[in-house]
Structure 1
Amino acid sequence: MSVVLSTGGLGLPGLWAALARRPLAHVDYVTDGPGAAIDAVQFALEVLSNPFNAAVLAVSALAVAGGAAAYLWVRPTITDIVILREKLAGYTDLVPWMIRLSVGLPLVGAGFQGYLFAPTITFDTAANPLVRLLFIGLGFFILFGLATRIVSAIGLGTYVSALFLDPGVVLALEYVPAFVALLILGGGRPSADDMLQAVASTEGTYYGRVDPVHLLKGFLDRRTQPYRRFVPTIVRVGMGLSFIYLGLIQKLAQPGSGLLVVEKYDLTAVVPVDPGLWVLGAGLTEIAVGVALIVGLFTRGAAAASFVLFTTTLFGLPDDPVLAHVALFGLASAIFTMGAGPLSLDYAIGRPAEEPDESAGLAAD
């Protein structure tokens, strides 16, 4: 799919036409078409009508549910995990840097390769040099951590505008929680903002005389501090919605596209099961990980599971563009570092007394 931007815009008819397009999903990165039109409900019932398929899914679901229930019942305090949590709590001040890297790199790539956030939504770089420059500029400014909050606001506005141009941009939904997190956290450290603020706020510096703007950063840091504890919630919910969208729309609602992937890469030779079970199982797994992230249950385990899914996809599907997953890898790293945060089942259920408050680093001034 390709869109060509112009200064005149699409106009109302073009906008309606764009909105009427069917949303794309990650299978479109590695397939040439949407696949056969298959009724999703009928497909699921047909797959489950096979006793072996039904048994595999049922046993897998019972094993996961049983293991989770047993863990919550016993609530073991494993020294290794406690030490890991303590160590990760010391990395929380680096979360803005993680998010900046994971967003900045793919934005630069999008600008050079000519696509709007999602690699399937392309534009003509020769006809739209300003759009190309916008994405490259956004990426480098975020990578350097220069005017991070301002650039993140521009990036969020650009994403919303691109979404109106083509709903397929929802495929790159992970940019939204990343931009919102950077709006709250700022550039963090290491960043150009942090360095320039230190110079600008020191009395007697030459730079402080010509750039009073960076003094605003200290004010914004103080104003956003009460909201920093909610950054883990924002990031995991945003990433969870991405997983649910991919699992539900890409695989369960469009099984024909999923079957194309199974056939193209001969995945049944890797795990000799029904192709339908591959599609149904993959979709349900992504949805389960997404739900776990949204409700904040076994959050670090869900983040680790997402790493496995991303890595398997990259090595198992060599045609899948790496840049399309960089942001997701970065958000998963941030979630693994921060933990669930408030407004989560992990937090509500209660944590071992030995576990530190993981949001302390984010809440610090």
Structure 2
Amino acid sequence: MHHRLRRVVGLLTALLAAAHILVGSAAAHVEYVTPGGEPQNVVAFLTDALTTPFMIAILLGGFLAIVVGLVVYLYVRPFPADIAAFRAVMTDYKDLLPWLFRLSMGMPMIGAGFGGYFFSPAVELPYPTVLRLFGISVGFLLLFGLATRVVAAGTLLLYLAVLPSEPGLLLAFEYVPGLLAIALLGGGRPSADAMIARLADDDRTVYSDIDPFYRRVAVPFAERIEPYTAMVPTLLRGGIGVAFIYLGITQKLLRPGQALAVVGKYDLTAVVPVAPELWVIGAGLTEALVGVMFLLGAFTRGFSLVAFGLFVTTLFGLPDDPVVAHISLFGLVSALLITGAGPYSVDGWLKSKFGAAAEMIGRDDDRRDPPTAEEPVSDD
């Protein structure tokens, strides 16, 4: 039985290794901090680790604990008023989503420009001056919100054009959903585009007489893509989900030598006293699980908090990790907290089957604003 299990695990890990070869030789974020490590055979590493009874028990126990916790939550539904209030606050922030997307994409692009790399620190092209000008220019245009849709679409097309020759760009795959969201939503407010639109829309201004773009192009384009803006949450969680799965598999599971070197460099086994192999596999499977849940749109806000916790842990646990390169993921996960799962999600099905937290406490859509300092809490 044990021999058969080793054969099954060996076959699965061989398939993973083959898939890694097919998608390219890009290393994951461990390259940003790893001191280097002895290359290890991926199949042998995973086979040995996943046929150890203790490690199997820990991994299966953790998985079952998550499943049981989610099932219990669905049937017990604890803290409905708190959850409803949290969701209501998040919904109130939806008008600021374009600004959040611009910050999430603009700041790391400026960092890439000053750092001389192309989207990801793992990708350095032989044109440092051009890269610096590109990154800084795109970053500031996004931050200012000037020609936002054009800049986002052009930057995305350039990313996709270079991707086949530079698979290391997959490490920054979150730019795809982020830039798509900006192209769909526009600059929002506050932005230079909003100011220009206000001037162009007012027939009393001098600028409205000379603007050649707003009424002929911008307004018709915005009206045409308006029906698709509802898909932003779906595109967002899909792109982030792919990024998490890719990073979890390539960063940890398919590069055990480098991942073990990171565990040793930061003495992570002193933080949680488990085998280094369990650190590597546990971290990789956790990232992959978060990615799968995002793809499915299941418990999206909850797993967004889990992802945010992973980022914060990395920020403080790996002090020499380039924080600027991760601002994009920080921002996009924060956006998922605001949007929720959106269309085509397990969350939508769960809501129709179990109801929302607001429905459980008898709250309608017209929520009461909290009392101000001048207003009494009650009439008593």
Match of 1:325 in 2: 326
Partner of 2:174: 174
Q: Which runs of 5+ in 2 are unaligned?
A: 1-21, 366-380
Q: Which moved more, 1:102-111 or 1:155-164?
A: 155-164
Contact 1:200 1:212 in 2 (8 A): no
Deviation at 1:169, TM superposition (A): 1.0
SS in 2 for 1:212: coil
Q: Which moved more, 1:210-219 or 1:255-264?
A: 210-219
Where do residues 349-364 of structure 1 align in structure 2 (5 Å cutoff)? 349-350=350-351, 351-352=355-356, 354=358
Structure 1 range deviating more: 163-172 or 323-332: 163-172
**Mapping for residues 301-312 of structure 1, pairs under 5 Å:** 301-312=302-313
> CA deviation digits over 1:52-85, x for unaligned, max 9?
3222212211110101112223445610110111
1:209-240 residue CA offsets vs partner (Å, 9 max, x unmatched): 22231333322222121111110010111001
1:89-116 C-alpha deviation (Å, 9 max, x unpaired):
1111111110100100110111111001
Other-structure match for 2:44: 42
The reply to whether residue 136 of structure 1 matches residue 136 of structure 2 is yes
Larger radius of gyration: 2
Paired amino acid for 2:134: L
1:122 aligns with 2:124: yes
Q: Mapping of 1:207-286 within 5 angstroms?
A: 207-215=207-215, 216-286=217-287
Match for residue 155 of structure 2?
155
Structure 1 counterpart of 2:92, which letter?
G
Return closer, same or farther for 1:89/1:165 CA change in 2, 3 Å cut-off: same
**TM-score (normalizing by structure 1):** 0.88
Pairwise CA RMSD of aligned residues?
Answer: 2.0
Amino acid at match of 2:121: P
CA distance in structure 1 between the aligned counterparts of 2:228 and 2:23, rounded to whole angstroms: 37
Structure 2 residue aligned with 1:191:
191
How far residue 128 of structure 1 moved from its aligned partner, in angstroms, is 4.1
Is the 2:34–2:259 Cα contact (8 Å) retained in structure 1? Answer: no
The aligned length equals: 337
Identity %: 50
- Quote the Cα distance in structure 1 between the aligned partners of 2:77 and 2:60: 25
Q: Distance in 2 between the 1:39 and 1:89 partners?
A: 48
Which amino acid in structure 2 is aligned with residue 53 of structure 1?
M
Residue identity matched to 2:265: K
- Structure 2 match to 1:85: 87
SS in 1 for 2:303: helix
Secondary structure of the structure 2 residue equivalent to 1:165? coil
Give me the TM-score of the superposition, normalised by structure 2.
Answer: 0.84
In the alignment, the residues of structure 2 paired with residue 222 and residue 119 of structure 1 have an alpha-carbon distance, to the nearest angstrom, of 38
Report the residue type matching 2:167 in the other structure.
Answer: P
Which sections of structure 1, spanning at least 5 residues, go unmatched? 1-18, 359-365
Letter in 2 for 1:354: A
In structure 1, C-alpha distance between the alignment counterparts of 2:357 and 2:66, rounded to whole Å: 26
1:26 aligns with 2:29: yes
Which residue in 2 is equivalent to 1:13?
A: none
Query: Within 1, Cα distance between the matches of 2:221 and 2:78?
Result: 41
Say if 2:117 and 2:131, in contact at 8 Å, map to a contact too. no
Matches of 2:131 and 2:314 in 1, distance apart?
A: 30
| CA gap 1:238/1:204 in 2 versus in 1, 3 angstroms | same
Would you say the 8 A contact 1:77–1:352 is kept in 2?
no
Distance 2:258 2:357 in 1: 47
Shift of 1:39: 2.8
Q: Any idea what the Cα deviations from partners look like across 1:328-353, whole Å, max 9, x if unmatched?
A: 00000100011001110001222417
AA of the residue aligned to 1:207: Y
- Residues 45-56 of structure 1 aligned to structure 2 (within 5 Å): 45-56=47-58
Provide the rounded CA distance (Å) in 2 between the counterparts of 1:357 and 1:271.
45
Give CA deviations for 1:213-271 in whole Å, capped at 9, x if unaligned. 13333222221211111100101110011000011111111111110110111111111
Instruction: Judge conservation of contact 2:84–2:357 (CA < 8 Å) in 1.
Output: no
